[in-house]
Structure 1
Amino acid sequence: MQVSARPLAQRRQCQAQQLPQLRGATRPRKARASAATVESSAATALKQSPLQQYAEELGSLDTKQRLQRVLQIARSSCGMSEQAKISDNRVMGCTAQVWLEASLDPNGRVQLTADSDSELTRGMCTVLTNSLSGLLPDDFLQVEPSAFAPLGLGPNVVTPSRAINFANLLETARKRVLTLVERLPSFPSLLISADALEPQGDFAKAQAQFLKPDAGQVDRLVQVLSDKKIGVVAHFYMDPEVQGVLSQAAERWPHINISDSLAMADRAVKMAEEGCKAIAVLGVDFMSENVRAILDEAGHRNVEVYRMAEAEIGCSLAEAAESDSYTQYLQQAASRPGPALHVVYINTSLRTKAHAHNLVPTITCTSGNVVQTILQAFAQVPDLTLWYGPDTYMGRNLAQMFTSMASLSNEAIAELHPAHTQATIKAMLPRLHCFQEGACIVHHLFGSEVTQLVQKAYGDAFLTAHFEVPGEMFTLAMAARERERGVVGSTSDILGFIAKKVKAAVEMPFPERLQVVLGTESGMITSIVRRVQGMLREAGRSDIQVEIVFPVASEAISTDQTLQSQSMPGGPQGTVEGSLSSLDPQGGNSGSLGTLPGGLSVLPGPAGGEGCSAEGGCASCPFMKMNTLEALFKVCDRFGTPGQALLEAYRPKQYTQLINGRSIAEAGCEPILHMRGFQRSKALPAALEADIKQRAASIARSAATS
């Protein structure tokens, strides 16, 4: 931490000259000889700080006078020495350059100084640092942003960006003070610049080593794909080694796409339309099933589809939707009187979608469109009861989001959905049901322990979180989102958020270093690196760096089901070392980390491998890592040869049973097509709305005659 070159006495004298000169105002008390003899709450300390004086003075002024006073404070500010205006003291992501430094005086009290190249921002910085300097660290760390509301410097007075800068300055100050009083945890990270990568920590080194792939493998892949007209669709969560080769090959063969699960099927259809004879799907089994079904629906039954393993490539979330408890959940929905709609996450099998739609009118959703799907459904169908599943964490996060939304003004709610008000949001809450026994192993471990570490050590960073993370991480990311420093959504949303922040940095005339916590699967790093470096190179900016932080540790965790049948990266086949209770770095029992909702257990995997960690979060999906380059080359080499007959086990699962005279594939595809219709029109398709009402009427007739 940088310490100002000016003596402490000189800094205090300078601060005193900037304080409001109010008749009868209470002056800040002098520090006693020993901080240990002072015991006070944060509230009491703030009342005795200059914050009270600033609030009284600024609160008595109108908007114009208030801004003039802040500018006057800026002009009288001592600021910071030029030697202190270094990158280590920068407040990240502000629209102006802002610097902040913190230190402890001999009495153990916090002393802050800040400066900015914007005069208005400098004045706001001065108000904040003068208000908080002199507090004990414990009191300082309890200060909430709401304490500054009486100043009247919110977005209705200053521009929203400056109001956000003020909140970010407080969060940065909190982080700087924490570093003075304790040693903060440090997660592995990858520092990205236009032409270089700097990994910090073993986990980051493991991710970075494949970002520059072997040229021979790239050449070989491009050759076989182009010769045989094979397209490749892969999920963001692929192993970095696989993604590195695919990304490089995509520059020479256009029919390679890395995306989230929704876009994979769409891109496969486009590849078929442009002449591809086969599609290789690198993902879990429900993804290849969806690709097969959507190709069939689009009239491309002659285009072959292949998975990347002979064994099943499972998914803990998809398996939860295949359980008896999920069937009982849907049967409950089907038996209730009144209109009902089942919104099912796209990360489920065709069989799940087909059986669900047979019981309850069903539409699929993604993490990117689920909020609008639910809001539109309640707005479009009076007295609707909605059943969401199978992701328990996403369901709880939705409930939390809608509960918070109910406290917004009608104007703010209308911006999110024009048909809703406070009254309609409150009315829909009791009619929103969420399944309680399903979770994705990738996001399960972003729970309370990792969230506390992220909040403490990276509270001033940009925070990204997938919609499937547990509620603690969701809440933290939503709070960061309010300060324009966070995003909650799909993998595509996360990538777009990072790109937006890089774009903003590129447009500024000064150097910048952004720090981003990656609250989802580590496999996204390949796409992030390519996007960030592409933007920096195009802009010709060598003075901007983006640090991606992995909230994980190097130890791996895999599921017991996978380890029994698969050789996981980094360790021998079938290895299960220890029990989950031994994973706690303090030697305690990690408890809830051991079991996913629905009962699927999580066990430690091969040491040094990729996977989840009880110390951090979830590093890597063990199911996705079953998609290897070796398997991709095997499929491609055999396709179009007599050896193609050996690829039968690599085809997506074929369902032979019928549901009401329709195949599983056809019936399971219908909820997906309903989602396609919703995406085009922003309304539930007419056929789905009619189905909801007809089934409700049928239940009512049956009840009347029984």
Structure 2
Amino acid sequence: MNTTATPNPSNTPIKDRIKVPQPPVWPTMSDADKNALKTRIKALLAERDAVLVAHYYVDGDLQALAEETGGHVADSLEMARFGAESAAGTLVVCGVRFMGETAKILNPEKRVLMPDLAATCSLDEGCPADAFSAFCDAHPDRTVVVYANTSAEVKARSDWVVTSSIALPVARHLHEQGKKILWAPDKHLGRYVQRMTGADMLLWDGACVVHEEFKGFALERLRRLHPEAAILVHPESPDEVVDQADVVGSTTQLIKAVTDMPNREFIIATDEGIFWKMHQLAPDKTLIAAPTAGEGATCESCAHCPWMAMNALQNLEQVLLRGDQEVHIDEDVRQRAVKPIQRMLEFSHAKGIGARRDGD
């Protein structure tokens, strides 16, 4: 059984069901101005006892700065875990809101700042906590499994929090125990997990504005132009895209595929922000963005998250100067949200899955 439960009778794309921001246009800087700005940020990080953690999808300048200052570039869960291991008293999270919240959930004693707290996520936006809680109440016989790309309140209502790399093992584990799953929020990832495990899953009708834009017919045309290219796909993508993949995996798993596979060309169906790390680790490989809305079409997301684009060197400096844009989580919510995250971490350790480097 695999049912999409949230009413969406017209099959309306997620970008038409939530408010998607226009990506900000940051002023162009000369190399000298950019270097001067980075120098000021480095000094502020040291003065504020702060460490910078950046997601693979943010601008390459931010990823480079994180590495240059002893910070970290990673998936959302590893960003939070790195913060827990850091001696710094302040974590500056370059990513989207749920990533800052996850960092705070796992590091309650630390201050967590973000360049812009308004940088949310279509998966988070499309799964409001009150509606989701009511949905869970209507299906009390199901084990609630939520993707990491959710608010602290949604995590607090769950039994398990999973990343894309550990979703399959957790679903198999629950299926073997005879448990039925209520899954949220990404229906594409949920369908992929259901197909691979055979688990009985009731799916919330959410999606990522970036991954939902990838088109199977356009990808097939691109494959014919690059017959030797390996196709790497994030499982948040639609079925017709996932079905053409040579590798389906998390951000970290796709990066590993570029470095490990012998192919010289790769067609990549995930956020283009990941190209910075791929180019860094495999500079001799050719990376091609998978097609989104098709030739001549317009789209709000294309292959880069508009909320991730709200992170830049300019507002990073400002948040360090002002000290605002701080992540706060109600302590009762935090205590409930940390339990399903810890359950996932303990499961990954017990199974030797190694989720530490294989997150969203």
TM-score for both structures, normalised by structure 1: 0.43
C-alpha separation in 1, matches of 2:337 and 2:155: 5
2:150 to 331, 348, 365: 348
Q: Which residue of 1 aligns with 2:255?
A: 495
Q: Which amino acid aligns with 1:547?
A: T
Q: 1:212 & 1:396 partners in 2: Cα distance?
A: 48
Number of the residue aligned with 2:356: none
Match of 1:259 among 49, 68, 74: 74
Q: Is this contact kept in 2: 1:213–1:241, CA < 8 A?
A: no
Q: Could you say which residue in structure 2 is the equivalent of 1:315?
A: 121
Does residue 550 of the first structure (1) align with residue 328 of the second (2)? Answer: no
TM-superposed deviation, 1:549: 0.5
**Alignment pair present for 1:532 and 2:282:** yes
Structure 1 match to 2:170? 373
- TM score, norm. by length of structure 2: 0.82
Out of 596, 599, 624, the position equivalent to 2:308 is 624
Give 1:679's aligned residue.
348
1:637 paired to 2:292: no
Which of 30, 44, 48 aligns to 1:224? It is 44
Distance 1:461 1:344 in 2: 33
Q: Is the 8 A contact 2:175 2:200 kept in 1?
A: no
The question of whether the paired residues in 1 share the 8 Å contact of 2:265 and 2:286 is answered with yes
SS of residue matched to 2:124: helix
Query: Contact between 1:396 and 1:434, CA under 8 Å: does it hold in 2?
Result: no
Query: 1:240-268: per-residue Cα shift (whole Å, max 9, x none)?
Result: 34334x25xx23x22x1111111011011
1:469 aligns with 2:237: yes
> How much has 1:673 moved relative to structure 2?
1.1
- 1:552, CA displacement in angstroms? 4.1
Question: 1:384 maps to what in 2?
Answer: 179
Q: Measure the CA separation in 1 of the matches of 2:33 and 2:136.
A: 46
1:293 aligns with 2:105: yes
Q: Deviations over 1:242-301 (max 9, x none)?
A: 334x25xx23x22x1111111011011111xx2x121101111111111111002xxxx1
Structure 1 residues 234, 321: CA separation in 2 closer, same or farther (over 3 Å shift)? same
- 1:673 counterpart letter in structure 2: Q
CA shift in 2, pair 1:281/1:264, >3 Å: same
Asked whether the 8 Å contact 2:152–2:329 carries over to 1, the reply is no
Match of 2:10 in 1: none
Alignment of 1:290-689 (within 5 A): 290-296=102-108, 301=109, 303-309=110-116, 312-322=118-128, 326-334=132-140, 336=141, 340-354=142-156, 356-357=157-158, 362-379=159-176, 381=177, 383-402=178-197, 429=198, 432-477=200-245, 486-501=246-261, 514-533=264-283, 545-552=284-291, 585=295, 604-605=299-300, 611-612=301-302, 619-638=303-322, 644=323, 647=324, 650-655=325-330, 663-682=332-351
Instruction: Between the two structures, name the one with larger relative contact order (CA 8 Å, sep ≥ 6).
Output: 2
Q: For residues 539-561 of structure 1, what are the alpha-carbon distances to aligned partners after superposition, in whole Å with 9 as ceiling and x for unaligned?
A: xxxxxx310011247xxxxxxxx
Residues in 2 aligned to 1:324 and 1:292: alpha-carbon distance in whole angstroms: 21
Opposite residue 104 of structure 2, the aligned amino acid is: R
CA contact (8 A) 2:144 2:183 kept: yes
SS at 2:286 equivalent: strand
The CA deviation at 1:305 is 0.9
User: In the TM superposition, what whole-angstrom CA distance separates every residue of 1:127-153 from its partner, at most 9, and x where no partner exists?
Assistant: xxxxxxxxxxxxxxxxxxxxxxxxxxx
Q: Aligned partner of 2:351: which letter?
A: K
Alpha-carbon distance change, 211 to 238 in structure 1, aligned in 2, over 3 angstroms:
farther
Please give the alpha-carbon distance, in whole angstroms, between the structure 2 residues aligned to 1:212 and 1:675. Answer: 45
Distance 1:259 1:212 in 2: 28
**Contact 2:164–2:249 (CA<8 Å) still a contact in 1?**
yes
Change (3 A) 1:243 1:349: same
CA contact (8 A) 1:210 1:241 kept: no
Higher-helix-fraction structure = 1
Cα deviation 1:620-647 (Å, max 9, x = unaligned): 0001111111111112233xxxxx4xx1
| Alpha-carbon distance in 1 for matches of 2:309, 2:193 | 29
Q: How far apart, in 2, do the equivalents of 1:258 and 1:213 lie?
A: 24
Q: Deviations over 1:2-41 (max 9, x none)?
A: xxxxxxxxxxxxxxxxxxxxxxxxxxxxxxxxxxxxxxxx
Q: CA deviation at 1:324?
A: 6.1
Distance change >3 Å, CA 521–CA 324, structure 1 → 2: same
Task: Identify unmatched segments of 5+ residues in structure 2.
Answer: 1-28, 353-360
Aligned partner letter, 1:521: D
Amino acid at match of 1:456: R
Find the counterpart in structure 2 of residue 158 from structure 1. none
Listed one character per residue, the Cα deviations across residues 26-72 of structure 1 (whole Å, up to 9, x for unaligned) are: xxxxxxxxxxxxxxxxxxxxxxxxxxxxxxxxxxxxxxxxxxxxxxx
Find the residue that maps to 1:634 and give its secondary structure: helix
Within a 5 Å distance, the mapping from 1:111-190 to structure 2 comes to none
How far off is 1:232 after superposition?
0.9
Shift of 1:604: 4.2
CA contact (8 A) 1:284 1:314 kept: yes
Task: Tell me which residue corresponds to 1:127.
Answer: none
CA distance in structure 2 between the aligned counterparts of 1:665 and 1:215, rounded to whole angstroms: 38
Q: Letter of the aligned partner of 2:43 in structure 1?
A: Q
Structure 1 residue 464, shift from structure 2 partner: 0.7
- The answer to whether the 8 Å contact 1:239/1:625 transfers is yes
**SS of structure 1 residue aligned to 2:210:** helix
- 8 Å contact kept, 1:224–1:636: yes
Equivalenced residue count is 324
Give the direction of change, closer, same or farther, for the CA distance of 1:366–1:489 in structure 2 (3 Å limit).
Answer: same
SS of 1:456's partner is helix
